[in-house]
Structure 1
Amino acid sequence: MRIAIFSNPTGGSVKVTKELTTKLNQAHLTIDNEHPDVVLTVGGDGTLLSAFHHYWQQLDRIRFVGIHTGHLGFYTDWRDFEVDQLVESLKKDTGQQVTYPLVDVDITYSDGTVKHFIALNESTVKKAVNTLVCDIYIKGKLFERFRGDGLCISTPTGSTGYNKSIGGAVMDPSLIGIQLGEIASINNRVFRTLGSPIIVGQDQYVDLVLKTDDRLIVSCDQLQAHDLDNPHRIQKLHYQISKSKIAFARYRHTSFWQRVDEAFIGGVK
């Protein structure tokens, strides 16, 4: 089994990375950052997201394990003082895993080119200035014309992030689908949208046909997906559940709803 270590550059994470490297070598476990079977991330959810995008083309053969060096995250199962226990789990690995759905993002430009991205949490589209206007299609059928600051398309596990902050629902990841949330929509006598989050199933897809094309900001997991200086305008954004999934090595896995409880409620007493 080949193991990669993906760490953020902060002092605490660097210290844990050095300790982890030493103990993996002592356990005669192979460290391979190019073609790993398991990726150990050291930091927090942001570090794991970065590792996910770094290795996204190898998702069909990689499992992730998160070590958090700060606050408890949604994707990190291990604490920074549990390196010994984690190394023991790696030595006893039997391929156990849990998987979560991802969302495919395709950006079609006016010259016909298509850029493909994949998101673990969400993708957003906004205007740098003024109002975003776009037609929303669900499985090829026009649903509504949106006017507002922007839209957020999230995965079930990503529903606890930016999606939740704009009033979206928290989705159980066993319900495979994508959620479309409005960011400050305009609703008055002239303009009208549904005004609530929309959840579509895995056999559905969402298309955003843009009516405003200047200074669009498109992101995938907070990473820029569209160059503002691109001379070609965005015609359409296409979203659907990906055939790929992210896999976590399930040596010790905290349930999704336990994470939600601990993150937002503080634990039931």
Structure 2
Amino acid sequence: MDNRKNIYFYYKKDKDILERIEAIKASTDKYGFSTVKDPAEANIIVSIGDDGTFLQAVRKTDFREDCLYAGISLDKKLNMYCDFYINDTEKMVEAVTTPVIEVRKYPTIEVTIDNEYSFDCLNECSFRSSLIKTFVIEVHIDNQLFETFRGDGMVVATPTGSTAYNKSLNGAVVDPTLHCMQVSEIASLNNNHYRTLGSSFILGSERVLSLQLSKTGDDYPIIGMDNEAMSIQHIERLDFRLSGRTIKTVKLRDNSFWEKVQRSFL
């Protein structure tokens, strides 16, 4: 992997961070790496911050499949996407210069709005009302009606995103080696008049999930794309499928997904 020499750093323009990044750049220069200003020229894209910064780095650099992503934490607390501490420069350099590098691949979800506009998500896509009222959504799996949902919204998560918003909704934590997506309800109504499955469910890699909105006057739903949000007027349909694209990170010894889960929650 000798050709992996160009590094792009993504971070918040904070004075304290800038000073620490200069130290990192000086260290990586010693190992023959070059810092580039254009992420399109990078072989390695490094986020410096927390998991949210990592998600932003992936989104702002267009979910590139032809490079490695790495997350560096500013404190000694390593997160789901941050494998390195900012003072562990040598550990990071060693990881990406190993002759036979081990790569961990995270699947992403492609979301299409009304067959016109699409975007990817690494963690999850959430869909909820901007008003204090419930949604009415027809849930289709491979174009077959599954249920009619009434509630505050739904979350569709990747396996790596299963530990985030999805977990707070009592969804399952899913091994990222399983390429699938998980659907979780947000405050569904279940009574003598309305009925949904009432639990999260997991769809295989070839499935297509479609959410068809009933016209109830809520014309401004909020869509969460990982840690970003947008409000779009008059949405009728959302389609979800695994994109087939993966985000690559360095696989470190003693830092598997399940070791991260243990470290974060147990």
What TM-score results when the alignment is normalised by the length of structure 1?
0.89
Q: Does 1:248 align with 2:249?
A: yes
**CA offset at residue 26 of structure 1?**
3.0
Q: Give, in angstroms, the shift of residue 170 of structure 1.
A: 0.6
1:114 equivalent in structure 2 = 116
Shift in alpha-carbon separation, 1:226–1:99, aligned structure 2, 3 A: same
Alignment partner, residue 125 of structure 2: 123
Residue 217 of structure 1 pairs with residue 222 of structure 2: yes
Report the AA paired with residue 30 of structure 2. Answer: Q
Aligned partner of 1:187 among 178, 190, 212: 190
Percent identity, please.
Answer: 31
Q: 1:90 to 1:169 in 2, by over 3 A?
A: closer
The one-letter code of the counterpart of 2:182 is Q
1:16 aligns with 2:17: no
Contact 2:123 2:164 in 1 (8 A): yes
Distance in 2 between residues matched to 1:174 and 1:88, nearest whole Å: 25
Deviation at 1:31, TM superposition (A): 1.3
CA distance in 1, matches of 2:258, 2:35: 33
Matched residue type, 1:13: I
In 2, the alpha carbon distance for the partners of 1:250 and 1:38 equals: 14
> Secondary structure of 1:148's partner?
strand
Q: How does 1:35-54 map to 2 (within 5 A)?
A: 35-54=41-60
Equivalent residue for 1:67?
72
Contact 1:155-1:178 within 8 A present in 2 as well: yes
- CA drift of 1:164 comes to 0.4
Q: Is the 8 A contact 1:77 1:253 kept in 2?
A: no
**Alpha carbon RMSD of aligned pairs, Å?**
1.8
Contact 1:77 1:252 in 2 (8 A): no
Query: What does residue 29 of structure 1 align with?
Result: 33
How many Å apart are 1:206 and its aligned residue? 0.3
1:172 is displaced (CA, Å) by: 0.8
Cα shift at 1:80: 1.6
Q: Distance in 1 between matches of 2:252 and 2:152?
A: 42
Give the match for residue 7 of structure 2: 3
Deviation, structure 1 residue 51: 0.4
Instruction: Name the CA distance, whole Å, in 1 between partners of 2:224 and 2:99.
Output: 35
Shift of 1:13: 3.3
| Cα distance, 1:139 vs structure 2 | 1.0
Which has the larger displacement, 204-213 or 194-203?
A: 204-213
How far 1:92 sits from its partner (Å)? 4.3
Paired residue for 2:142? 139
1:23-43 alpha-carbon deviations (Å, 9 max, x no partner): 222333111232211111111
Name the structure 1 match of 2:108: 102
Q: Give the conservation status (yes or no) of the 8 Å contact 1:179–1:198.
A: yes
Number of equivalenced pairs: 256
Secondary structure (helix, strand or coil) at the match of 1:234 reads coil
Gaps of 5+ in 2: none
Match of 1:187, SS state, is: coil
Question: Shift in Å at residue 214 of structure 1?
Answer: 1.6
Structure 2: distance between partners of 1:244 and 1:146: 29
Q: SS of the residue aligned with 2:236?
A: strand
Q: Distance in 2 between matches of 1:5 and 1:253?
A: 25
Alpha-carbon distance in 2 for matches of 1:88, 1:250:
12
Verify the 8 A CA contact 2:220 2:231 in the aligned structure 1: no
Paired with 1:20 and 1:93, the residues of 2 have a C-alpha distance of 22
Change (3 A) 1:251 1:168: closer
Contact 1:16 1:42 in 2 (8 A): no
What displacement does 1:11 show?
5.2
- Structure 1 residue ranges without an equivalent (≥5): none
- Counterpart code for 1:67: I
